[in-house]
Amino acid sequence: MDSRRATERRSCSSNGVAAFMARSNGEKLGSMRRIAALGVWGALSIACALSTMSCERKMSGDDPPMRPLVYTELPPEERAEEEVAPAAAVINIAPEDLGYTLFHAIVDGDRAAYESMFIRAEALSQLIHMPIKEAEKTAAGYMAKSESLWTLFAAKSTAEEPVSVLSSRVRLAEFRLGKGRNLAGKIADPETDEVLQHWGNELRIELLQSDKKFVIRVPKIVKTPQGWRIAQPIDVDSSLRVFLETGMHLKSDLLRSEHYPMPIEVGNFWKYRVEKGERSTFNDHETGKNAAKSPTDPESALPLSTVTVTDMITDVMHRDGYWIVVFEKTTVDSSQPDPETETFAWLVTPRMVFICKRDCRNQADNIGYLLGYIMRQTPIFIFPLDVGQKWDVAGSRTARYSRYEVRKYHQDPVVVPGGAYTGVFEIFGSVEEGRESRYFMPGTGIVMRIVRSGAGIKREELIQHRLIL
């Protein structure tokens, strides 16, 4: 042993290396430790010989550390043993990782990744010493109350799925963490406490090509053996909710596709005849009284009116996720010397249609303003239409009082001077003029409109239309 150590202290000259290797090869070592040691020190000596600089540092006289044996093949006896299943992957090592994973889960539609963000019952039970049954109920509650977030990002129809471009419309701006806390929920002292929780976190999403930012609130995240997890239901700010519910995150191609119920193209027009009369003149579709003038009765046509109204699309301002559609309304009344002309506009999204007033038109490029505008307006249409569907301001389906309701789907033809239409939806609502019933034919538009008020009933029936497809 002493002679070997003396040899190891030689300089790293080429001659020394050769002598060292010759001596090493001639020795018979009986233990695996010496073989490993010689291999390590021989490799180091060769590296020193090849270097342009000589090794001036003397090697230690202590025994080299033992190195683990590396097998390229498992020994035969180990192959027969049953393989152990790998442990579950640890994700979200840092709390910021959770924000990144959550963002991509909801934007890319990865349901499995989304569900993996929430704390499991076992981890919750271990963390706060909660009985497993109670932990299961609590963890399931977090998921159930956060389902609305997933629903917001999900496609509403098969027509939407291939044209969603949310991943190209938004980016992750930041995941803003709340203050770090210890297990007891107190603000952690970085010098003495391990940070196990963060309260009041926010996932901020930026809408590209604008200064609009959306916020997803993540009230609490906790550290578990599987990484950081969500431990409270998630919520979103109102502007993001409106953005997603209206479908403004979808491709505008939906607005010109065959799937969109309202034909939108410059040059399209709808011409109606307008008649006014006492209540006894027309059928009241709410009560079923006064059976004359039923929309499904071909014999119910009234004599031609001297008043006609034509709505023509004169301009369409195309924007990502929405259009501003401008109409020119021309009213011809035989009792008046000249026709009356006025303009109005719609704010059209893949899922909803709103009246677009002057300020709305002037702010056509300001997505932040338009989202705030929509929050104060009630859509005149929500697509797809479905019997029993109700909505109020901003398209809310949960308001106590709804402004519009889809009451009926007419399987029998609705007959107007412009034709007979089967598959018409009847939309009932409250307007400034009174109570309104609109008869909407998907792919065509409004074929009839009836307004009831104290002054009587006004009836508009389609007599001619043109659709440029």
pLDDT higher than threshold 50 for residue 137: yes
pLDDT higher than threshold 70 for residue 394: yes
Token pair belonging to 100: 């990144």
pLDDT higher than threshold 90 for residue 28: no
Same domain, 70 and 127: no
- Size of the chain, expressed as the number of residues it contains: 469
One-letter-per-residue 3-state SS of 175-243: EECCCEECCCCCECCCCCCCCCEEEEEEEEEEECCCCCEEEEEEEEEEEECCEEEECCCCEECHHHHHH
What is the model's pLDDT at position 92?
A: 86
What is the model's pLDDT at position 42?
A: 45
CB-based contact 315:296 (threshold 8 Å): no
CB-based contact 118:146 (threshold 8 Å): yes
What is the model's pLDDT at position 272?
A: 98
Torsion of CA 142, 145, 146, 149, to 10 degrees: 180
CB-based contact 200:219 (threshold 8 Å): yes
What is the model's pLDDT at position 9?
A: 40
Rounded to whole angstroms, the Cα distance separating 333 from 153 reads 49
87 within a domain of the structure (yes/no): no
CB-based contact 217:236 (threshold 8 Å): yes
Q: Using 50, 70 and 90 to split pLDDT, how confident is the model at 251?
A: confident
pLDDT higher than threshold 60 for residue 236: yes
What is the model's pLDDT at position 113?
A: 93
pLDDT higher than threshold 90 for residue 323: yes
**346, β-bridge pairs:** 325, 355
Query: Which CATH number does the domain housing residue 206 bear?
Result: 3.10.450
pLDDT higher than threshold 80 for residue 55: no
Task: Please give the residue range of the domain that contains residue 199.
Answer: 95-236
pLDDT higher than threshold 70 for residue 432: yes
Backbone angles phi, psi at 415, to 5 degrees: -100, 125
* Greatest CA separation for the chain: 127
pLDDT higher than threshold 50 for residue 38: no
Helix (H, G, I), strand (E, B) or coil at 94: coil
Q: In sequence order, what are the residues at sequence separation of 6 or more whose Cβ sits closer than 8 angstroms to the Cβ of residue 53?
A: none
86 within a domain of the structure (yes/no): no
What is the model's pLDDT at position 33?
A: 43
What is the model's pLDDT at position 140?
A: 96
The fraction of the chain above a pLDDT of 70, given in percent, is: 74
What is the model's pLDDT at position 294?
A: 61
What is the model's pLDDT at position 82?
A: 52
296 within a domain of the structure (yes/no): yes
What is the model's pLDDT at position 186?
A: 93
pLDDT higher than threshold 80 for residue 445: yes
Same domain, 15 and 163: no
79 within a domain of the structure (yes/no): no
52 within a domain of the structure (yes/no): yes
Domain boundary among 210, 236, 262: 236
b/e map of 330-348 (b: 16 or more CB within 10 Å)? beeeeeeeeeeeeeebbbb
CB-based contact 185:152 (threshold 8 Å): no
- Scan for tokens 């180091």, then name that residue: 44
169 within a domain of the structure (yes/no): yes
Same domain, 322 and 366: yes
What is the crossing angle of helices 132-145 and 121-128, to 10°?
Answer: 120
Token pair belonging to 168: 């190209």
Q: In sequence order, what are the residues at sequence separation of 6 or more whose Cβ sits closer than 8 angstroms to the Cβ of residue 439?
A: 295, 410, 414, 421, 424, 425, 426, 427, 446, 447, 448, 449
Domain boundary among 236, 271, 287: 236
Same domain, 302 and 376: yes
Same domain, 67 and 137: no
pLDDT higher than threshold 50 for residue 7: no
245 within a domain of the structure (yes/no): no
Rounded to whole angstroms, the Cα distance separating 339 from 122 reads 75
pLDDT higher than threshold 70 for residue 100: yes
Residue 186 has a CB neighbour count (10 Å cut-off) of: 10
Q: Provide the domain count of the chain.
A: 3
Task: Determine the average pLDDT of the residues in 160-177.
Answer: 87
Residue 290 has a CB neighbour count (10 Å cut-off) of: 15
Cα 408 from chain centroid?
32
Query: Which CATH number does the domain housing residue 391 bear?
Result: 2.40.360
Same domain, 293 and 410: yes
pLDDT higher than threshold 90 for residue 297: no
What is the model's pLDDT at position 431?
A: 86
pLDDT higher than threshold 60 for residue 26: no
Rounded to whole angstroms, the Cα distance separating 168 from 207 reads 9
Least confident span in 53-62, 84-93, 123-132, 208-217 = 53-62
What is the crossing angle of helices 238-245 and 367-374, to 10°?
Answer: 90
pLDDT tens digits, 449-462? 999 998 889 999 99
What is the model's pLDDT at position 205?
A: 96
CB-based contact 182:199 (threshold 8 Å): no
Task: Determine the average pLDDT of the residues in 235-258.
Answer: 91
360 within a domain of the structure (yes/no): yes
Same domain, 399 and 265: yes
Q: Using 50, 70 and 90 to split pLDDT, how confident is the model at 399?
A: low
The fraction of the chain above a pLDDT of 90, given in percent, is: 59
Task: Determine the average pLDDT of the residues in 17-41.
Answer: 41
Same domain, 351 and 400: yes
pLDDT higher than threshold 80 for residue 32: no
> Which range in 32-41, 121-130, 161-170 is most confidently predicted, on average pLDDT?
121-130
Helix (H, G, I), strand (E, B) or coil at 438: strand
What is the model's pLDDT at position 314?
A: 98
Contacts of 28-37 spanning 24+ positions with Cβ under 8 A: 32/69, 33/66, 36/66, 36/67, 36/69, 37/63, 37/64
Rounded to whole angstroms, the Cα distance separating 236 from 375 reads 15
What is the model's pLDDT at position 206?
A: 96
Torsion of CA 155, 160, 165, 171, to 10 degrees: -20
Cis omega (within 30 of 0) for bond into 64:
no
Same domain, 44 and 111: no
Q: In sequence order, what are the residues at sequence separation of 6 or more whose Cβ sits closer than 8 angstroms to the Cβ of residue 196?
A: 181, 182, 183, 188, 222, 223
What is the model's pLDDT at position 162?
A: 75
The pTM score is 0.74
Same domain, 166 and 307: no
Task: Determine the average pLDDT of the residues in 59-71.
Answer: 44
Domain boundary among 202, 236, 270: 236
Cα distance from N-terminal residue to C-terminal residue, the chain: 95
Same domain, 351 and 268: yes
Same domain, 59 and 120: no
What is the crossing angle of helices 14-26 and 32-50, to 10°?
Answer: 160
The strand pair at 170-176 and 180-181 is best described as unpaired
